[in-house]
Chain A
Amino acid sequence: MNAAEPLKCRPSDYKSEVKPIWCPGCGDYHVLMALTRAMAALGLPPERIAVVSGIGCSSRIPAYTNCYGFHGVHGRSLAVATGLKIARPDITVICASGDGDGYSIGGNHFLHACRRNVDLAYIVMDNHIYGMTKGQPSPTTEPDFDTALAPGGTGLRPFNPLVVALASGANFVARAYSGNPNETAELIVDAIKHPGFSFVEILSPCVTYRPDQRSWKDRVHPAPVTPTDDPARAARRLMTDDGFNLGVLYRGHRAPYTPPTAAAMVAPESLEEEFEV
């Protein structure tokens, strides 16, 4: 077989023997389905893919694939994924987080990953809650979402991940809904293929702490406009986004970050010489 020819794979070829322990009904099951379908569509051998995550229900996803995986430290999925891609540019790196992992404790890494534009795909399973720790509000929780843990709601303006990604320099920005697994798979394929830092926000309901999110299936709708490569136009579109537009918003042309070549690097010995007294 020609080395460049994609393999003929089935989604099940990318599933591990580990059975997910997510709550029945959790949207993350659909994300796993979409992710493995995307991998099969790309025809990449599992050993050429690494799935890196942080901590949270959503961040358990690497264990459920049979690719290389790294279940990292809370909020640090992007730091690990970035390092891995720089060290092994031949590996397809997919980074996964939840809204808590990616936008709270990992928020700073998110900004800088967009800015650095290293060639990796970042999928965030956003359920507007901390699922794993029993339902605390996250940066995307609605201000009036009333729980025993935040009586009356937080009253805080939610974080808009697409606005932040675009403003910080992400090269590909999209939104998916886990209940449309095939459309989500196609967006993941698109994100992986697009050079640079590709961000896909996946609305993925937490049926246990946000049973109201079962209604998301009636709220999502295709974005009424086609993707743009003009960041100013994409930004204007986000001003009227209701949070449920699905599809690719922005597809940029910025060249991905490439690490300096060995020749351009300073040898540690020469630094030692400089500091010699």
Chain B
Amino acid sequence: MSGANVPPVTSVAALYGIAHRIEADAAERYAMLADQMETHNNLDLARMFRDLARAERLHADKIRELAGAIGVGDDGGPIGPWKADSPESVDLYAARYDMSPHEALRMALAAEERALAFYTDLAASKVDRTVRDLATSFAAEEREHVALCHRLLERYPPASAARPGDPDAPGDR
């Protein structure tokens, strides 16, 4: 799970494509988690992941709008440009059927921080000024999302130890 193996972003068109891909991948991942939580009857979390998916979808649409005539077609095709995951995708391996909203928000925070690091690194690298400016504006947006996750985490403190345990947990033998 890293932004490593990212192809060099050498143009604004490539950056719009990659940025759109990042948001679309993140939306897909949250939607998958929402489905998983629905299947496992963790309905509060299903709602939370569904909302996050919707937010990422809106970001993807916003990037498409910003790109205007340049378009977002340069996004790596069906397989995508990353060997591992795209930076803003939540770590699916960290999911558990009985996870709490706090744990879910921690996952989201980690994803937003990876996206922030991706754009910050890109802006600091040797790129054309137009690419740097766009990467800086995307980084600013991700910084806001990181701050939002922190605010939400205050609303959902770590689950208390009294959270009811599953008397028939799948890992028990």
Contact = CB atoms under 8 A, between A and B. Distances in A.
Interface of A: 9-11, 19-25, 27, 29-30, 37-38, 40-41, 134-135, 147-149, 179-183, 185-186, 189, 205, 207-209, 211, 214, 217
Nearest to B29: A33
Contact of B84 (A19, A135, A183, A186): A183
Given A24-B37, A182-B84, A207 B93 contact: yes
Given A9-B78, A24-B37, A179 B170 contact: no
Contacts of A19: 35, 38-39
A148 B171 CA distance: 11
B83 A180 contact: yes
B71 interface: no
B158 to A, nearest CB: 19
25 contacts: A10-B78, A11-B78, A19-B35, A20-B35, A24-B33, A24-B36, A27-B93, A29-B32, A29-B36, A30-B92, A37-B79, A41-B79, A134-B173, A135-B173, A149-B173, A179-B1, A179-B93, A180-B84, A181-B85, A182-B83, A183-B83, A207-B96, A208-B170, A208-B171, A217-B93
B95 interface: yes
Given A24-B96, A25-B92, A205-B93, 19 more contacts: A9-B78, A19-B35, A19-B38, A19-B39, A21-B39, A22-B36, A23-B170, A24-B33, A24-B92, A25-B94, A25-B96, A29-B36, A37-B79, A38-B79, A41-B77, A134-B173, A147-B173, A148-B173, A185-B79
Given A25-B93, A207-B93, A41 B78 contact: yes
A217 B83 CA distance: 13
A22 B109 CA distance: 25
Interface string B79-94: 1111111000000111
Secondary structure class of chain A's binding surface, majority of residues:
loop
A214 B93 contact: yes
B24 to A, nearest CB: 10
Count class of interface residues, chain B = 20 to 34
Contacts of B85: 179, 181
Nearest to A206: B171
B138 interface: no
Contacts of A148: 173
A217 B106 CA distance: 19
A23 B1 CA distance: 20
Contacts of B97: 23-24
Nearest to A147: B173
B92 A29 contact: yes
Interface string B43-56: 00000000000000
Contacts of B129: none
B62 interface: no
B71 to A, nearest CB: 15
A40 B78 contact: yes
Nearest to B36: A24
Contacts of A134: 170, 173
